[in-house]
């Protein structure tokens, strides 16, 4: 079994600062991390390695410094790492990114056929959740988004059963492999790699692919040229100030009562709604 995990190196949003003068995001000096959502995808892939002996290849597109993210993925236990890096990719939106990545995935599959492609649900810097589905569509893979659990895999029948989060419930889906899975957050926890993995990662020579090496058929579909997205304006929303109303009371009980009364009077219908819910819950119990 061969699985490919697409990851992205993103600025650590916890440490991003807005420039106090220009109001732009200061990326310089901000530490980078693997997109946190991608770690759920990577861990799920590593579990398939534990269970089925799957080979795990991580793939990323980005500048040379993205090798840090790949090396980190190797430390967690991934087997191979490929960095897609080329000036032609600079400025890619999600359409161009999925184009480049799908070419690379196809190329990886030529030497070692792929059973599952994993992606995170979305990235924390773009938040579009479009790249995973884009790759699936371009490569004609079965598309399983927002997967919360891999229930079973039948290697011989090449079938997979997963739980997928949907509005109002969980879908149980069975489909054929190869497929693309975007993994939902909080579904697992990334492992702490072994010492052997850490050594392998430190010594590993990364494979770097240019657009040509990745077998990208048409470079004009990459980078800024291949990106129809237009950023019209970037701005920080102005803060709205709402005056706080102090609540008076001597005891916790009287304070809570005043708070509840204030809320109920400000939101008519809230009281009945809550009470009916409590009633139906107690009936259910």
Partner 1 sequence: MTERFDAIVVGAGPAGSAAAYVMAKAGLSVLMLERGEYPGAKNVQGAILYSDALERIIPEFRDEAPLERHIVEQRVWMLTDKSHIGFDYRSDEFNDAKPDRYSIIRAQFDRWFCTKVKQAGALVICDTVVRTLLKDEKGQVIGVKTDREGGDIFANVVILADGVNSTLARDAGFRKELDGDNTALVAKEMHFLRPEVIQNRFNIGEKEGVAFELVGTLTRGKIGMGFIYTNLESVSIGIGCMVGDFEKGGLTPYGLLDELKAHPSVKPLLAGSEMKEYSAHLIPEGGYKAIPKVYGNGWMVVGDSAGLVNSIHREGSNMAMTSGQLAAETVIALKKEGKSFTEQNLARYRSALDDSYIIKDLKKYQGMPGFLHGNRHVFTVYPELMSQAASTMLRVDGIDKKSKEKQVTKSFRQKRGLFGLVGDAIKFARAFR
Q: Which residues are at the interface with partner 1 (CB under 8 A)? A: 17, 20-21, 29, 31, 75, 192-199, 202-203
Cα–Cα distance measured from residue 8 to residue 36, given in angstroms and rounded to the nearest whole number: 9
- Minimum separation from the CB atom of position 270 to partner 1 (A): 40
Q: Residue 199 or residue 261: which is nearer to partner 1 going by CB?
A: 199
Residues 6 or more apart whose Cβ sits within 8 Å of residue 49: 3, 55, 56, 77, 79
| Nearest CB to partner 1, comparing residues 20 and 246 | 20
Closest CB to partner 1 among residues 11, 134: 11
Structural tokens at position 102: 């799908």
Between CA 23 and CA 216 the distance in angstroms is 37
List Cβ neighbours of 80 (8 Å cut-off, separation of 6 or more). Answer: 55, 56, 57, 58, 207
Is the dihedral angle over the CA atoms 225, 106, 196, 53 positive or is it negative? positive
Least Å distance, CB 94 to partner 1, is: 28
CB 25 → partner 1: shortest distance, Å? 14
Nearer of residues 31 and 63 to partner 1, judged by Cβ: 31
**Rounded Cα distance, 186 and 36, in Å:** 10
Task: Quote the least distance from Cβ 48 to partner 1, whole Å.
Answer: 19
CA distance linking residue 275 with residue 92, whole number of Å: 51
User: Least CB distance from residue 39 to partner 1, whole Å?
Assistant: 14
Nearer to partner 1, 195 or 230 (CB): 195
């Amino acid at each position: 079994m061969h699985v490919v995990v697409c990851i992205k190196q993103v600025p650590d949003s916890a440490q991003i600062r807005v420039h106090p003068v220009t109001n732009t995001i200061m990326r310089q000096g901000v530490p980078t991390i693997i997109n946190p959502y991608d770690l759920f995808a990577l861990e799920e892939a590593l579990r398939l390695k534990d269970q089925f002996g799957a080979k795990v290849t991580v793939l990323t597109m980005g500048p040379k410094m993205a090798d840090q993210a790949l090396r980190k993925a190797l430390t967690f236990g991934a087997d191979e790492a490929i960095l897609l890096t080329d000036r032609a990719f600079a400025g890619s939106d999600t359409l161009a990114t999925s184009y480049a990545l799908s070419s690379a995935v196809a190329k990886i599959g030529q030497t070692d056929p792929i059973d599952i492609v994993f992606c995170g649900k979305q990235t924390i810097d773009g938040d579009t959740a479009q790249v995973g589905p884009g790759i699936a569509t371009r490569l004609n893979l079965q598309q399983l988004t927002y997967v919360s659990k891999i229930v079973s895999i039948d290697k011989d029948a090449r079938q997979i059963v997963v739980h997928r989060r949907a509005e109002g419930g969980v879908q149980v889906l069975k489909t054929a492999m190869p497929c693309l899975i975007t993994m939902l957050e909080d579904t697992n926890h990334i492992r702490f790699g072994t010492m052997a993995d850490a050594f392998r990662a430190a010594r590993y020579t990364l494979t770097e692919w240019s657009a040509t090496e990745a077998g990208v058929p048409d470079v004009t579909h990459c980078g800024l040229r291949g990106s129809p997205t237009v950023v019209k304006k970037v701005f920080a929303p102005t803060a709205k100030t709402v005056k706080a109303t102090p609540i008076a009371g001597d005891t916790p009980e009287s304070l809570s009562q005043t708070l509840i009364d204030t809320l109920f009077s400000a939101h008519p219908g809230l009281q009945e709604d809550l009470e009916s819910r409590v009633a139906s819950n107690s009936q259910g119990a």
